[in-house]
Amino acid sequence: MKSSKSRKTRVLKALADDVRLTLLEKISESEVCACELPRFVNVSQPAVSQHLKTLREAGLIEMRKDGAKRLYSISNKGKAILKDVSRW
């Protein structure tokens, strides 16, 4: 029970931040390089990296490496949750 509750808490905390929600919405449009994301949220690259880590730990996004780039895409869980949130 505790682990299920912990996962739910992680997701809700990840969605509770406007920057993370904006990043999730942008990533849901298509796979995107982390280097492109700061301009959409007007925060520094290190701050974006911390937000991406939170989203990834919540299971909302996935990351793959392509050389030196880190490319992010929305996970199936992230798609389902974003769809639910958009109806709020």
Q: What is the pLDDT of residues 41-83, one digit of tens each?
A: 999 999 999 999 999 999 999 999 999 999 999 999 999 999 9
What is the number of structural domains in the chain? Answer: 1
CATH number, domain containing residue 20? 1.10.10.10
HEC readout, the chain: CHHHHHHHHHHHHHHCCHHHHHHHHHHHHCCEEHHHCHHHHCCCHHHHHHHHHHHHHCCCEEEEEECCEEEEEECHHHHHHHHHHHCC
Range of the domain at 55: 2-86
pLDDT at 23: 97
pTM: 0.90
